[in-house]
Amino acid sequence: MTEEELQTALEKATPERERYELFVEECQDQDIRVRFSPAQGEGWSMPALLAVVHLSLRAAAGVEAEITHLNVTKIRVAQPADVLALSRVIRRDRGTVHAETWLFSHAVVEPIVHATATLSSPIP
């Protein structure tokens, strides 16, 4: 899947309020890099970061995938800047996908959130 195809699929499958101006920067094999921007004049709340985690995990595992188990570790406070999400699939087993995502404020230097998840995918 190309960056443009993933961008279109994510936009169709995600409500606008949860997109945070998502922009798919890179889509190679099962490694995905997506940039999110906070609402004008706002920072990042934990619910907003969880929406970004959810979306970035689905970007890696498949847009139709649904999270069944989620583990999130907040490492540091997010800066009021773009958030970069680096996501990848760890393992696929039939309709089950294990994935992880790292969130970074502005640049890929120090992570702000790490999440691992198990997702069920309708496409084995």
pLDDT computed for residue 28 by the predictor: 86
pLDDT computed for residue 123 by the predictor: 64
pLDDT computed for residue 41 by the predictor: 79
- Domain spans, the chain: 3-120
Task: Compute the distance between CA of residue 66 and CA of residue 4 in angstroms, rounded to an integer.
Answer: 22
Name the residue among 99, 22, 27, 87 with its Cα closest to residue 56. Answer: 87
| Torsion angle of the four alpha carbons 60, 65, 70, 76, in this order, in degrees rounded to the nearest 10 | 40
β-partners of residue 103 are: 85, 113
Quick check: 60 and 88 in contact, CB under 8 A?
Answer: yes
**Domain 3-120 class?**
alpha beta
pTM attached to this predicted model: 0.90
pLDDT computed for residue 9 by the predictor: 92
Give me the tens of pLDDT residue by residue for the chain, a chain 124 residues long.
889 999 999 999 988 888 899 999 999 877 899 999 988 878 899 999 999 999 999 999 989 999 999 999 999 999 989 999 999 999 998 889 999 999 999 877 889 999 999 999 876 5
